[in-house]
Every structure is written in structure tokens, then in C-alpha cells.
Structure 1
Amino acid sequence: MKYAEFNIDSNEIEFWNSTFGIESVLLNGKIISKKFSFSGIKHEIKLHARDLILESKYKQFDKKEIKLELKENGVLVKELLVKVDKSQRFFWMLIGVATGIALFKLLNFFYWST
């Protein structure tokens, strides 16, 4: 799902994030970075002679927003706050509940089998 778009020197930088936590950065429609992230990560972008960093920051139990910072040489160029898709939050909540139930059953099994 496309979350944000930055326009720099008539170039389009897009930030996409999947339900499974795969972040993708596209430059003029071509994927230039693809990484797994649970709470945010840095993507390096080479734009002609410019070195940019697109950093995502996501706090799972905070405001349900992804903070995107586009930086050049450590200086903030642009910042965006985007809301996380509800289906993505629901998916991760289900994984948390399923993991908790599985751990409970596993530990309960080992406790009663000894």
C-alpha cells in the first residue's frame, strides 16, 4: 500500500509498506530499496549526485502513525506523518494473540508432562 510520495527535483520518491512489514522505496516507479521493518528502518537513495536517506519510524503501541523523514547529509529535507492502515494493525494484533495462545499451550504442555 502506498503511504507517501516525495517530489525532489522533478523526481518522484514513493514509500510503500505491506501488511507483512515489507517497506519499499520507489524512485520514478522503480524499486530501489526493499527491507523488512517492524519499527522503522533507513533506505538509502542515490539521486544523481545527491545522497538521500528516507527513514521510517513506527511505534507499534503509540499513535499508529509512521513518521517518514527524508534527509540529505543528515539535514531534514521533508517530514511526513502518515496513518497506518487499519488492516495492517489488525493483522499484527492477530499475530500477537496467536503467538500468546501458542506459547501458553506449549508451556502448559511442558508443565503437565513433567
Structure 2
Amino acid sequence: VAQEWNESTPGLKAFFVNGQGGGKVMEDYYNIMEEQQALQADSKKNDEDAPNADKMKSFHKVDKEMAKLRKEYYQVKSDTAMDSEVKRSELDRLDEEMRALAREGITIFRPDYK
């Protein structure tokens, strides 16, 4: 598989993450969510209790908070009246909160996650 132009130069990819900030921790968060939801769906299809049910309850609480932050992020991002420096600062703050929340969600399933 060929590398994208922004992946072939070390350090460059960090400047070209898509839209929302977050990078790897956000990608890991959504990958874990996808894996765990698939596990739950398989259990439901087989009329079994999901082995991850208790952890998913905790994860859903984190994901609910994440949804609130995402909503706020997009509201700030689409605010055309907001000063650009204030907007950048607010988006950076929200990015940091979302990354911290993503780590919290990941550690529910992977306690050793760094």
C-alpha cells in the first residue's frame, strides 16, 4: 500500500490530521468502540449475555460525554462571529478534553494504555 504524501515525511502527518484534533488516541478510541459494539452485537445475535456488558456501561457514560464535547466543538467551529484567536483557543481546549476522555474510555478495556 502506497503512503499518502503527508505520511511519507516524518513529522508532517501531525500537521494534517483531519478536522478535529486528537490523532492516535481518538482513532484508538473509535476502534475500541467499534470492536466492543461488534462483540455486543454478536452476543445479542446468539442470545447470549455480552461478556463486556459491565465495561460497556462505563464506556457508554464516557461516550455520552464525548458526544456533548463533539457537539460543542462543531458549534464553536461553525461560529462565524467568534474571534479567530478565541475560536482556536476554544477548539484546542475541546480537543484536549476529548483526548483525555478518549483515554479514559480506552483504559476501561485496556488498563495499560499509554
Settle same-fold status: TM greater than 0.5. Answer: no
Structure with the larger strand share: 1
More helix by share: 2
Structure number with the bigger relative contact order (C-alpha 8 A, sep ≥ 6) is 2
TM-score, normalised via structure 1 length: 0.32
Which one has a bigger Cα radius of gyration? 1
